[in-house]
Chain A
Amino acid sequence: MTTALSLQNVTKSFGAMEIIRGVTLDVPPGERHAVIGPNGAGKSTLFNLISGRFGISSGSIRFEDQEISGLTPYEINRRGLSRSFQVTNIFPRLSVYENIRCAVLWSLGYKYSFWRGVDGLVDARERSEDIMERIGLAARRRDQAGVLTYAEQRALEIGITIAGGARVILLDEPMAGMSRSETEHAVALVRKVTEGKTLLMVEHDMGVVFGIADRISVLVYGKIIASDTPQRIRENAAVKEAYLGEAAH
């Protein structure tokens, strides 16, 4: 398997508006790949296409050499691709522990079982405990997800995304709305939990991007105008003009 995730000439139109206008992208396994671009470039739409929330208009999306365009979100997730949301998308009235546990159940093979007690499932409990430790929310395990602070909810969001053991992880602006110190913690968290996985991340914070990414793709008006190592992206004239502006970071 040479690529974990491969997009070939993917387009997406909403009615007459073409949002994604031919995106080709190959992400090898284990790479940490960031997608940056100005607002409205189509980054979230791209994530929605990959994860199955929307269908593509044309092109192909392959996950580990299987075609996944046209599959439902749960079919894609079951194959090992998981995504987080820019606007926190958790289970508000369930506890932190319950939130994580719901995310591990399918991957452990329990499916729709209504004949086995969930509290007796040792592997589910241990995996959930492990995830909660890693995202730093073990102390809040019994609290309702809805009453967590914003940063804690973002951490939970990431926790739900990785809990199922997905091999390819899509993080949609994980640091959105965070303060400086919260961002630093979140960066460390993201690095920790995506070790050995393939990461595709949308972010605006350039410091974060240059700190985490192995490679960066720049999406402008639905097309990728450059895809390279962070250093070379920094020096790329077209990118500077389209996105970073004259005072390049």
Chain B
Amino acid sequence: MSALAKLTPWIVFAILLAIAPYIFTSGTSRTMLSIMALSIVFALSYNMLLGQTGLLSFGHAVYYGLGGFVAIHVMNTIIRNKYAIPLPVIPIIGGAAGLFFGVIFGSVSTRRAGTTFSMISLGLGELVASSALILRTFFGGEEGITANRARLAPFFGYKFGSQIEVYYLIACWCLVCVVAMYAITRTPFGRMCNAVRENPERAEFVGYSARMVRFIAFSLAGLFAGIAGALAALNFEIMNTQSIGAVQSGLVLLMTFVGGAGVFIGPIIGAVLVAYLQVTLSDITGAWQLYFGLLFIVVVMYSPGGIAGWLALHEPLYRGRQLTKLVPAYAMNAVPLIVMIAGGILLIELAYWALVKSETEGPETSVFRIAMNTNSVWPWIAAVILFLGGAFALRRTWPRVQDAWGSALARVREQPA
């Protein structure tokens, strides 16, 4: 692969980062872009554990949160004492905190692998999250800790008060971290992470301590999570115990898994998607958390490789130029799938309104911009018909996809190598 071909994806990524706030120009959009950028760093740090080394952690938010809290306290100290340390340096502090705690907790956590490791991470996560409520001076109790990022010393004249300025700061750090994390996968250590994931026993018999590999991976993942936490502290100018708890840990797991843990860009896709949904979905529907849970279950059941994994499946067809052969089958299945999803959404929205909102706000609501009355039986019937009808139709049309795949693959194999 030529040097230019190798660099192209990075150049494209940098360009996208640079022009995004000029395509999506509203204040909320730019905030959302900032959230996406820092979520990318967080999700990629998580995938150093899950996708690279095979470690499923339920407590990764600890390093994110601790990095953020240390960062925000340092910011306040700088402001109070008027030190000449500018804002762009703060993520380094967050990273150092993440690394520090990653090393300490990692020395205990990485003694075991597999399910035990997952349970340890859960327990440690709960331990830290619960301690946070007790240690009020550091964690600020229910209100959290705030800081004003514009009050640090200016950096080449910039005070980073506005959303677009802080976006570019976050985007720069995002680019640096993504490059760094990718580079780490291309090192002897990175390769051995994969080996330990595949077969930890054999890795030991070729000279590597699986425990040491996991420990280093854990510490580095903590480092980058700490940077992400510091970026969040910069962005929101507040840190509270939410950032350190089980919900945040679950969120990064969702991002990484839905995006695809087996491919490097998977978590990037997942972070962007989930950050988008987080911001927009909560405005549209009150049941957004339920949708997240269902999305997660659907991905686990039907595409455990996530979005990126599903896309990667198509690579042999792309190279063999048989990709277009799938289009008719996909189009045919898209219709019942959309109908089924629409029916499902309608059901959930009706149920949510009827159960949660109708007592206070009456039975009238609108779904897909169509007015509906939850007391009437017709919307419910319509929802059930759409859902079941779509599901049954999908069962009938799905074999077409399998056939199309089969013949496309066969044609690829027939081609001269």
Asked whether the complex places CB atoms of A and B closer than 8 A, the reply is yes
Residue with the greatest number of chain B CB neighbours at <10 A, chosen from A85, A89, A92, A103: A103
Q: How far is the CA of A89 from the CA of B187 in the complex (A)?
A: 23
Partner of A77 from the list B206, B213, B220 (CB cut-off 8 Å) is B206
Interface size class of B (residues with CB under 8 A): 20 to 34
Give, as a whole number of angstroms, the nearest-CB distance from A17 to chain B.
23
Give, as a whole number of angstroms, the nearest-CB distance from A228 to chain B.
30
Q: How far is the CA of A163 from the CA of B220 in the complex (A)?
A: 29
Partner of A114 from the list B187, B201, B202, B205 (CB cut-off 8 Å) is B187
User: How would residues 164 to 201 of chain B score, 1 for a CB under 8 Å from any chain A CB and 0 otherwise?
Assistant: 00000000000000000001101111111011001101
Give, as a whole number of angstroms, the nearest-CB distance from A52 to chain B.
8
Which of A116-124, A130-138, A184-192 faces chain B?
A: A116-124
Give, as a whole number of angstroms, the nearest-CB distance from A83 to chain B.
6
Residues of B within 8 A of A111 (CB): 188
Residues of B within 8 A of A83 (CB): 205
* Chain B, Cβ-Cβ closest to A89: B202
Give, as a whole number of angstroms, the nearest-CB distance from B134 to chain A.
36
Q: List 13 A-B contacts (CB under 8 A).
A: A74-B205, A77-B207, A89-B205, A92-B199, A94-B195, A94-B198, A102-B191, A112-B212, A114-B184, A114-B189, A114-B220, A116-B187, A160-B206
Whether A118 pairs with B190 at a CB distance below 8 angstroms is yes
Give, as a whole number of angstroms, the nearest-CB distance from A30 to chain B.
23
Knowing A72-B204, A112-B212, A164-B206, say if A90 contacts B199 (CB, 8 Å). Answer: yes
Whether A112 pairs with B189 at a CB distance below 8 angstroms is yes
The answer to whether the Cβ of A91 comes within 8 Å of any Cβ in the partner chain is: yes
Interface residues of A (CB under 8 A from B): 51, 72-74, 77-78, 82-83, 85, 89-94, 98, 101-103, 105-107, 110-119, 121, 124, 160, 163-164
Q: How far is the CA of A4 from the CA of B221 in the complex (A)?
A: 42
Residues of B within 8 A of A74 (CB): 204-209
Whether A103 pairs with B206 at a CB distance below 8 angstroms is yes
Interface residues of B (CB under 8 A from A): 183-184, 186-192, 194-195, 198-199, 201-209, 212-213, 216, 220
Give, as a whole number of angstroms, the nearest-CB distance from B135 to chain A.
33
Residues of A within 8 A of B198 (CB): 91-94
Count, A-B residue pairs, CB within 8 A: 94
Whether A91 pairs with B207 at a CB distance below 8 angstroms is no
Q: How far is the CA of A93 from the CA of B54 in the complex (A)?
A: 13
Whether A114 pairs with B190 at a CB distance below 8 angstroms is yes
Whether B192 pairs with A112 at a CB distance below 8 angstroms is yes
Partner of A118 from the list B188, B204, B207, B220 (CB cut-off 8 Å) is B188
* Chain A, Cβ-Cβ closest to B184: A114
Partner of A116 from the list B188, B195, B202 (CB cut-off 8 Å) is B188
Whether B194 pairs with A94 at a CB distance below 8 angstroms is yes
Q: How far is the CA of A124 from the CA of B188 in the complex (A)?
A: 10
Q: How far is the CA of A78 from the CA of B201 in the complex (A)?
A: 15
Residues of B within 8 A of A82 (CB): 205-206
